[in-house]
Structure 1
Amino acid sequence: MNRRRCATAAITLVCALTVLASPGQAFAAPEPPPATPGTRVHKKSLEDVRLELDALYRKAASATDAYNLAEEQTERQSAEIVRLAQEIVKGQARIQELRNRAGAAARAQYRGGGLPTEAQLMLTDDPQLFLDSAGRIAQGQKATKDLIGELTRTQADLASYSKDASTQWQKLEANRLKQARAKKEINTQIAAAKSIEDKLEKEERARLLQLEQQAQYKAQTAWLSSGVLKEINGRSSEQGKKAVHFATAQVGKPYVWGAEGPGSYDCSGLTSQAWAAAGRGIPRTSQEQWRLLPRIDIRDMRPGDLIIYHADASHVGMYIGDGAIVHAPRPGRNVTIAGAGSMAILGVVRPDK
């Protein structure tokens, strides 16, 4: 409960400082000052810049999800290829063993004068030997039939393993190409955003951050004004508490796309590792978390649940109670606590439902 109060107090303080910093213009970008000698004139207002950066980082986040999914699939396919290779080696060894046994039977027949065992039996004058040999012949015939059957099955399994390995290899290569394309897209979008930010003066960057906070505060206020928080009073599960404890302990660590800790995280890297620490494996990406985890009504939300953001499910944060989330926002920002309604909510999923 103390952590929840601290989270609420932190959000309230940030929002209050944001509002106080711009009296009378809490949510609007300032008018550009008149041009004077030596003053740089921007064709776009800082609010336009903020929107442009937001769009670029959203594209980077979507590409990061594609990269992470391709990486996860690549790891699974690599492991499957290794397993199939091991099965192929075992199958080859088994076929060699069966061939050796068949060869031994052929050599034994050759040593018997080249006559089949049945023919040798018919030529014996010893009744007891006839009876004993008849039983051995029946056993031998069954063993030969079983040997041929096992050899056929093992060869069929070997062919199947080889075909599966080839299929997995093709998928592996396709996912590597997806990774490469996603990586290029991520770097392109981040480089474009960084190029814009590098052109800003120190004061402008500070004002840009302030505008980001104001936009988030405005969205959070509208969300809270809907009365939704009055109906959100679910108690977290034991696993949910552990996940929240892990996630909030990462506050202050930098966002790095594709990172899963311990020194840095992207948005879904943080949530997946938090739930892994709680003993619950969940999908790696925000889009897969949205697709595969049980969905719940936002009014039934409880700490530990994951809030999926934006129409393309490209961002995720963990609800920690009192209308707040912990999340890894974007490149250039650190893991932080923010208002749960500060971004466009797509829906909520519960890993331990």
Structure 2
Amino acid sequence: MGSGKRTLTTAAIALVCAVTVLGAPGAAYASVSRPAPAPTPPRRSTPAADKDLEAVRRKLDELYHDAAVATDAYNAAAEQTKEQSARIVELAREIVRGQEKLAELKDRAGAAARAQYRGGGLPPEVRLWLSRDPQEFLDDAGTVRQGEHAAKGLLAEMTRTQDDLKQYARDAADQWKRLDANRKARAEAKKRIEKEIAAAEELQSRLRKQERERLRKLEEQAAKRAQTAWLDTGILKDIGTKASTDGLKAVRFATDQIGKPYVWGAEGPKSYDCSGLTSQAWAAAGTTIPRTSQEQWKRLRHVDIKDMRPGDLIIYFRDASHVAMYVGDGVIVHAPRPGRTVTIAGAGSMPILGVVRPDAS
């Protein structure tokens, strides 16, 4: 780095340090003090450059992990918004049906009241005296009693219908509040995703082409080390290879998407995020599963890793922020992160939280 010029690698590391300092307690106080003159950076050897790039790699992993967490929140809010919108539509239909039913009941109650008024104006003893046939009178009296019971039943049904309408209205208002809250949560998650991805892209944009290529190799080496350590446990000796019929369908769908770009919030057919890929793969196999990796971890059946089979989903990181599909022989297919495409990777290349099985067969 002669003639006092900084390399773009040094600038990228400076950005990492700036992000760390600005996020630390006391950063505002530190910014007030007089800065020391910046010394001219010494000429770096290759190992030192690799060390700097390794710091960049770790920072990128952190940024993309945070983006993945925000993506899960965005997808969850989107799913809840969809469900709440459908519920509001159904409640609106219930209200319309209830109003129509109430109008019909009112018409029937009015008709019954008019009929009772026309037939019930005379006292019973007078109607008995005027009747030519006592049996006819008794029949008429029974009809009147039936009419009275029917009228009471209509009034009770009207009351229940009115109560139902009030409850539907309350439910609809509640769903609207939740819908609004989830829309705001979705918008906030979108901002977080865009912020983290923009920071990662800014960090990478400061690297030269050769440095980006070296960074990619460092990423591959880190994944390979993790996969090797996982395989060295002898785990594959215990893992079966036979998949269910539906599992094979899901694997076939997922592997057919290899090469398509990762796009956060996407669930095909041209692009996917990690849980968009797994949920659509199992939908293609005829099984509906939760949309997000966190919900897949919460709601699908957990299986021991030694019982894992192709088609099962591996959940990664302690916060369940990433998911991939196991395809056999210690390999997964997944949508990694922004800037990458759906690809094959080692199942142990990331920290495994656990395994879930979408199908029951």
Question: Is residue 204 from structure 1 mapped to residue 211 from structure 2 by the alignment?
Answer: yes
Match of 1:115 among 111, 114, 121: 121
Aligned length: 319
Partner of 2:327, secondary structure, is: strand
Quote the Cα distance in structure 1 between the aligned partners of 2:122 and 2:283.
66
**Cα 1:120/1:282, change in 2 over 3 Å:** farther
Partner of 2:130, secondary structure, is: coil
Residue identity opposite 2:9 in structure 1: H
Quote the Cα distance in structure 1 between the aligned partners of 2:336 and 2:159.
58
Map Cα deviations across residues 57-99 of structure 1 (whole Å, 9 max, x no partner). 0000000001101111111111111111100111011111111
Quote the Cα distance in structure 1 between the aligned partners of 2:333 and 2:285.
16
Kindly state the Cα deviation for residue 235 of structure 1 after the two structures are TM-superposed: 1.0
The residue aligned with 1:125 is 131
Identity of aligned residues (%): 62
Quote the Cα distance in structure 2 between the aligned partners of 1:153 and 1:93.
14
Map Cα deviations across residues 240-289 of structure 1 (whole Å, 9 max, x no partner). 00000000000000000000000000000000000000001100000000
Kindly state the Cα deviation for residue 123 of structure 1 after the two structures are TM-superposed: 5.7
The residue aligned with 1:9 is none
Kindly state the Cα deviation for residue 132 of structure 1 after the two structures are TM-superposed: 2.5
Residue identity opposite 2:329 in structure 1: D
Q: Is the 8 A contact 1:109 1:116 kept in 2?
A: no
The residue aligned with 1:286 is 293
Quote the Cα distance in structure 2 between the aligned partners of 1:297 and 1:36.
59
Kindly state the Cα deviation for residue 165 of structure 1 after the two structures are TM-superposed: 1.2
Alignment of 1:207-222 (within 5 A): 207-222=214-229
The residue aligned with 1:42 is 9
**Cα 1:334/1:295, change in 2 over 3 Å:** same
Match of 1:275 among 270, 282, 297: 282
Q: Once structures 1 and 2 are overlaid, which stretch shifts more, 93-102 or 286-295? A: 93-102
Residue identity opposite 1:220 in structure 2: Q
Residue identity opposite 2:295 in structure 1: E
Question: Is residue 151 from structure 1 mapped to residue 155 from structure 2 by the alignment?
Answer: no
The residue aligned with 1:257 is 264
Q: Is the 8 A contact 2:235 2:306 kept in 1?
A: yes
Quote the Cα distance in structure 2 between the aligned partners of 1:336 and 1:137.
79
- Using structure 2 for the length normalisation, give the TM-score: 0.84
Q: Is the 8 A contact 1:109 1:117 kept in 2?
A: no
Question: Unmatched 5+ residue regions in structure 2?
Answer: 14-51
Residue identity opposite 1:115 in structure 2: G
**Cα 1:277/1:116, change in 2 over 3 Å:** farther
Residue identity opposite 2:131 in structure 1: D
Map Cα deviations across residues 26-58 of structure 1 (whole Å, 9 max, x no partner). xxxxxxxx5457662533211111111110000
Quote the Cα distance in structure 1 between the aligned partners of 2:159 and 2:123.
24
- Using structure 1 for the length normalisation, give the TM-score: 0.86
Higher RCO (CA-CA < 8 Å; seq separation 6+): 1
